[in-house]
Structures are given as C-alpha cells and as structure tokens.
C-alpha cells in the first residue's frame, strides 16, 4: 500500500482554507475509518498508509478535502468548481490506436508558497502526488499518465499528433535534442516505460502553436515546460487507455491545485473521433443504491437522515429516496431494483474512481455511519456456497488415493521444457503456453503434465527414508486452456508395474468403473507414444474405449535425470475424462 507523509504545517494551512482547525489527534484516531492506517504521528509529521483503492487520499490537499467532511462535519463538496477557458486542444485521428484517451485542464493562480522552502516543498509534493497516481489508478502509466506544465512557457492552442521514432526534441532534465528512439533506449524514464510503447511505429506527442513539444506521453515532458518556484499557472494533460482512470487523475490534480487557491478552467477538446467536449467535467456522478441491497447486507433498516449523514461524511450528497417505476418486475442480481422497490439516489464526486458498483455504496454508508454503530444484528443476506460440479468428483478421487496410502501434495503450475518434455520423453501434445518474461530458467512455461512435478518433489526429498508415496490433483494448461489431471508417484523398494496397475485399478474401482460394467483395459505403450516408463513396463489405461491416461514403472534412466536412484512407479489420468466416462454410482 502507498505511504504518504504530511507535515502538520502544510495540512494546517490547507485546512484553514476550508475554515476548519487541523487536529492531529483526531486524524490519528479516525482516519482508519476511510481507508487509511496512521503509521506514525508526532509534533511535526503524520505518516499515513493509504489503501490502494483510495487514490483521492494521496496528497495533502485531497486528503484534507476528504477529512473536512468526514472529521469536521463541514458538508461535502461533490463538484469541482470550474470556469470555461479559451484554451483549445485538438487530437489527431491517428491517436485512436496509439493512446486514445486524452484530457486536459488549465489552473491559474495557485498558491505555491511564500518562501523558497515552501516553493520546494510544493514542487516535491506535486511530483510525489503524480507518481502515486501513476502507480495506483494509472497502473504504472499504462491506464493513465499525467503531465503538469508551466503555462507561462506555452503558446496555446495545443495539438496531439503522432510522430515517427526519428522525431526529436529536448526532454526533461536534458540539454540536447533526443529522438524518440534515443529517449526510449537511453533516457531513464524512457528505459523505465518503453514497454508501454512496444511494437508502435508512431508515437504520441503534444505540441503548442509554436510546434514545441509539451509532452511525449506516457514517457517524459519537454524540458521548457518544467514547473519552477515561480510557477502559478498550470496546464495539465492526462493520456491513457482507461477513460475513468484518466478522468479521476485529472480531477485529483485539479482538486489539489484548487485547494491551494487555484481557479480551474476547462479547455475545449476535440477528441480523436472529431467530437468536441469541455474538460474537465467537475460535476458529481449520480448513482443509485437499492434499499433492499443495503438492508440485506448490513442487516437492518436505515432512516433517510442516517443515509444522508453517512453519505455526507463520505464526501457525497444524498438526493432522494424514490420508488422505481421502470425496469424489470423481478430481478436476480442483488445490485438491481425491481419496479415498486425503493432506491436511494446519491451524488458522489467524479474523482472517486473506486466506486464501481452499488456494493461499494453500501460500504460507503457503513463507513459513514461507523461499523461500531451498525448494531449487533447479523446480515440478512445469506448466500451459501454451491459446490462446483467437479468438486464432488475431486473429493472422491482424493479419498480413494489417500485410502491407498498416498499423501496429497500441491506444486507449482509453472515448469520448463526440459522437465515437461525432454526428461520424461514426451512430445508436446498440444500448444505450449510460455511465459513472456520468465524470472528463472526453471519456470518458463505452464505445465502440461503433473508427473515431472511429482518426480521433482521426490528428488527434493531423497534424503528422507522410503517409502515415499505422493499424489497431486491439480491444474495443467493445454492449448492455453486449464485442465484438471491427477497423478501419483511412489518411491519404494520392490515396486514395479504390478503396483502401478493395482493403484490404477483401485482408483477406477472406487470411482465406480467396475460396478457400472464399464469396459476397462490396458494397452502397451509403443515407442512412438514416448513417456518415462521402462520398455514393456508401461501401459495406456483405457476406459470405455477411450485413452484416459498411463501408468507403469519409471525407467531408471529417467529417474537418474531427476537425481533419483530408487524404483518408482507412477500414473497420471485426465480428470475430466474420468468424470465424463464413469458416472457417479450414487447419483
């Protein structure tokens, strides 16, 4: 979880703008209720750990905005106040497949401090806020990236275009022009985020009327737009692939500036589809919360006054409770309200990107009221888990193998080509699913067979005494789809094919193959079938004429490749085939 450190002097100054008094003790006692953990609070600073979903608490200004309503009862401000400005930005149609979501705003008259120390603290806090937004809702700049510029150095109107990798400009913290390719290969930020533009032949840049580059998103700004100690007017751009994340990022930066006295101006944006809009949109988002959903989850009824107070504390605004007059007459989903049912209409700030579902509003109400004040009634919502169709079959397989003296183990689905194919002499039966960026040579693919995992486990425990008898009921990946398989491996003296066949028949018997007079047979493995079994000591297991797996005695040459020098018998079956071919004798 991200951690932020605020000094009390800054918070006190910001809180005074909201006409409230900063109370460190109150913050320390109650901030945990809105998604924070106060790690440390002394006379100078307060260090707070923020839950990842609460991106609106990542700066002193936005934290103070939330605390104003929650801690001090000053009434929520759900809208970001804006005025229409005359700045325009046009997005070229080529951005549709490069970086389609682009927003912008202008903020003027920001109080950045009255001393050099305060100026430095302001710039540092601004950069920290940007990076925390990049990390949280921006998902390391993939969903959203933010650029903040000194407006006095720019010449509107702005354009967003795509350029080839040979295009050059002077990036931030550099003194000479660099091409797009050079930035991606040698600039520190380019190296960090080049993967976001991998495979592109055209790259996005934002330029002003003098054809100077403001930004090369999501990598780096132009050097001439750098925010300095004297900057009070700002241009903000946000670009990305996720409209909700981009909008929330823009609004939170504007909200932080507004808390320092800035006036937020909208710009006229023409997007890559030619549609014109005013951005940012500071109006609150109106949402509905079914009364039935709230009461079923929290276990009691609530008055409209309780809902109003709770939502107000959480920074929203209660509009009304109304009866649904259109929609379905009967609903199956908890989040829907049928005709005739009641629902609450609520406005929440548009920058609250964490509110995705009516259940999130239930949490807001519970937090606003206080979990300790909800009463002792249990939730009226009972949702008993329903077993998956495969769970009963899996239980019967486990019971059978455990009754035969095997111990269940669980190993990684990750494996490598050598273990899965070369060592056990199998050819890839289907297309192999590989890892794009493996961190070790032992984990380069997703396994297609369980047997190598069991042999590796026996090898890791070869210093323990025999016998060792293990099995795994786990997942393999074939043709890029998950499948269930069960395998066993027994390292013990005197073992052989007879023991392997006996284990296979015991499992099939317990599953009901013989009680249903299902044809069970064994066919010798041929050289073309491959496999880890000793020649003439391995067999295909056939159920109702279908090959469901193999069993047999491991070839000592294979055992030695895994570092084993003891007799081993093993087997592996397709669980889906077992369930399909052998009906449950009880059902």
Q: Which H helix or E strand runs over 311?
A: helix 304-313
Class of domain 3-72: alpha beta
Name which of 103-107, 213-217, 515-519, 523-527 the model is least confident about: 515-519
**Residue ranges per domain, the chain?**
3-72, 82-279, 286-373, 389-581
For residue 489, give both structure tokens. Answer: 């491996």
Distance CA 447, CA 142 (A): 30
Identify the pLDDT of residue 34: 67
pTM check: above 0.75: no
pLDDT in tens, 254-306: 999 999 999 999 999 999 999 999 999 999 999 999 998 998 888 888 999 99
Name which of 63-72, 222-231, 323-332, 468-477 the model is least confident about: 323-332
Identify the pLDDT of residue 158: 97
Distance CA 367, CA 310 (A): 7
Other beta carbons within 10 Å of 176: 9
Q: Which residue has the higher pLDDT, 76 or 506?
A: 506
Other beta carbons within 10 Å of 340: 10
Distance CA 545, CA 466 (A): 36
Q: Which residue has the higher pLDDT, 21 or 312?
A: 312
Do 507 and 520 contact (CB within 8 A), yes or no?
A: no
Q: Say which CATH topology domain 286-373 has.
A: Phenylalanyl-tRNA Synthetase; Chain B, domain 1 (3.30.56)
Distance CA 587, CA 583 (A): 8
Orientation of helix 60-72 relative to helix 243-259, angle to 10°: 80
pLDDT in tens, 56-71: 988 888 888 888 888 7
Distance CA 32, CA 49 (A): 9
Other beta carbons within 10 Å of 326: 5
Region 505-527: mean pLDDT is 86
Angstrom CA distances, 431 to 105, 446, 477, 481, 565, stand at 49, 11, 9, 10, 32
Main-chain phi, psi angles of 409, to 5 degrees: -130, 165
- Edge-first strand order for the sheet with 285-290 is 285-290, 342-348, 317-323
Residues 6+ apart with CB under 8 A from 502: none
Region 433-456: mean pLDDT is 91
Identify the pLDDT of residue 448: 94
- Name the 3-class secondary structure at 289: strand
Q: Is 83 exposed, middle or buried (0-12, 13-18, 19+ CB in 10 A)?
A: exposed
Name which of 44-53, 94-103, 356-365, 436-445 the model is least confident about: 44-53
Identify the pLDDT of residue 33: 66
pLDDT in tens, 338-394: 788 899 999 999 999 999 999 999 999 998 888 777 777 665 566 667 777 788 899
Look at the chain and count its residues.
587
Mean pLDDT over all residues of the chain?
89
Strand ranges (E), 138-202: 144-150, 158-163, 168-169, 178-179
For residue 488, give both structure tokens. Answer: 């066993």
Residue 455 has pLDDT above 90, yes or no: yes
From 357, 356, 362, select the one nearest 379 (Cα to Cα).
362
Identify the pLDDT of residue 371: 79
Q: pLDDT band for 499, please (50, 70, 90 cuts).
A: very high
Q: 286-373: same fold as 3-72? A: yes
Class of domain 82-279: alpha beta
Q: pLDDT band for 452, please (50, 70, 90 cuts).
A: very high
Do 192 and 222 contact (CB within 8 A), yes or no?
A: no
Identify the pLDDT of residue 154: 95
Region 71-76: mean pLDDT is 77
The CATH H-level superfamily of 389-581 is Bira Bifunctional Protein; Domain 2 (3.30.930.10)
pLDDT in tens, 298-309: 888 899 999 999
The angle at the Cα of 446, spanning 467 to 506, to the nearest 5 degrees, equals 40
For residue 406, give both structure tokens. Answer: 């095997």
Residue 72 has pLDDT above 90, yes or no: no
Identify the pLDDT of residue 378: 62
Identify the pLDDT of residue 27: 67
Do 396 and 512 contact (CB within 8 A), yes or no?
A: no
Instruction: Return the DSSP state at 312.
Output: H
Helices (H), 91-242: 116-135, 180-186, 188-193
pLDDT in tens, 16-27: 777 777 776 666
- Name the 3-class secondary structure at 37: strand
Q: Give a three-class secondary structure readout of 442-471.
A: CCCEECCCCHHHHHHHHHHCCCCCCCEEEE
């Amino acid at each position: 979880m991200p951690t932020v450190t605020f000094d009390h002097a800054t918070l006190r100054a910001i809180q005074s703008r909201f006409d409230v008094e900063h109370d460190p003790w109150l913050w320390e006692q109650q901030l945990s209720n809105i998604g924070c953990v106060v790690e440390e609070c002394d006379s100078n600073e307060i260090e707070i750990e923020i839950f990842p979903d609460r991106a609106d608490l990542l700066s002193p200004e936005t934290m103070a905005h939330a605390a104003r309503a929650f801690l001090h009862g000053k009434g929520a401000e759900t809208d970001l106040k804006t005025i229409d400005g005359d700045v325009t930005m046009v997005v070229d149609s080529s951005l549709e497949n490069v970086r389609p979501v682009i927003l912008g705003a202008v903020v003027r008259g920001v109080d950045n401090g009255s001393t050099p120390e305060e100026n430095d603290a302001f710039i540092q806090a601004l950069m920290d806020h940007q990076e925390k937004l990049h990390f949280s809702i921006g998902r390391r700049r993939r969903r959203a990236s933010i650029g903040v510029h000194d407006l006095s150095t720019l010449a509107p109107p702005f354009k967003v275009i795509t350029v080839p990798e040979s295009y050059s400009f002077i990036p931030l913290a550099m003194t000479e022009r660099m091409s797009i390719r050079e930035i991606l290969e040698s600039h520190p930020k380019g190296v960090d985020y080049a993967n976001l533009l991998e495979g592109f032949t055209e790259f996005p840049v934002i330029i002003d009327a003098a054809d100077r580059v403001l930004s090369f998103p999501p990598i780096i700004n132009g050097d001439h737009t750098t925010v300095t100690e004297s900057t009070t007017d700002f241009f903000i751009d946000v670009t990305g692939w996720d409209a909700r994340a981009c909008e929330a990022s823009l609004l939170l930066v504007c909200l932080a500036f507004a808390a320092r006295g800035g006036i937020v101006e909208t710009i006229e944006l023409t997007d890559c589809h030619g549609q014109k809009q005013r951005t940012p949109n500071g109006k609150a988002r109106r949402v509905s919360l079914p009364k039935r959903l709230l009461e079923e989850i929290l276990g009691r009824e609530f008055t409209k006054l309780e809902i109003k107070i709770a939502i107000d504390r959480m920074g929203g605004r209660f509009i009304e409770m109304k009866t649904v007059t259109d929609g379905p007459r009967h609903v199956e989903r908890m989040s829907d309200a049928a005709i005739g049912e009641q629902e609450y209409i609520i406005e929440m700030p548009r920058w609250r990107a964490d509110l995705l579902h009516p259940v999130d509003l239930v949490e807001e109400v519970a937090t606003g009221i206080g979990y300790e004040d909800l009463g002792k009634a249990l939730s009226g919502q009972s949702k008993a888990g329903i077993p998956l169709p495969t769970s009963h079959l899996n239980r019967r397989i486990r019971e059978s193998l455990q009754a035969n003296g095997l111990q269940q183990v669980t190993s990684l689905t990750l494996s490598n080509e050598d273990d899965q194919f070369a060592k056990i002499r199998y050819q890839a039966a289907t297309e192999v699913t590989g890892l794009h960026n493996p961190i070790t040579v032992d984990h380069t693919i997703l396994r297609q067979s369980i047997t190598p995992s069991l042999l590796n486990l026996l090898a890791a425990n070869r210093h323990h005494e025999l016998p060792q008898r293990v099995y795994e009921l786990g997942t393999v990946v074939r043709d890029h789809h998950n499948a269930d398989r069960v395998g066993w491996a027994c390292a013990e003296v005197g073992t052989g094919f007879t023991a392997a066949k006996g284990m296979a028949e015991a499992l099939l018997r317990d599953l009901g193959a013989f009680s249903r007079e299902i044809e069970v047979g064994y066919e010798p493995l041929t050289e073309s079938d491959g496999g880890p079994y000793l020649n003439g000591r391995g067999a295909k297991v056939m159920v109702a004429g279908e090959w469901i797996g193999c069993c047999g005695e491991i070839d000592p040459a294979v055992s030695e490749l895994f570092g084993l020098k003891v007799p081993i018998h093993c087997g592996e079956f397709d669980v889906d085939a077992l369930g399909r071919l052998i009906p449950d004798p009880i059902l």
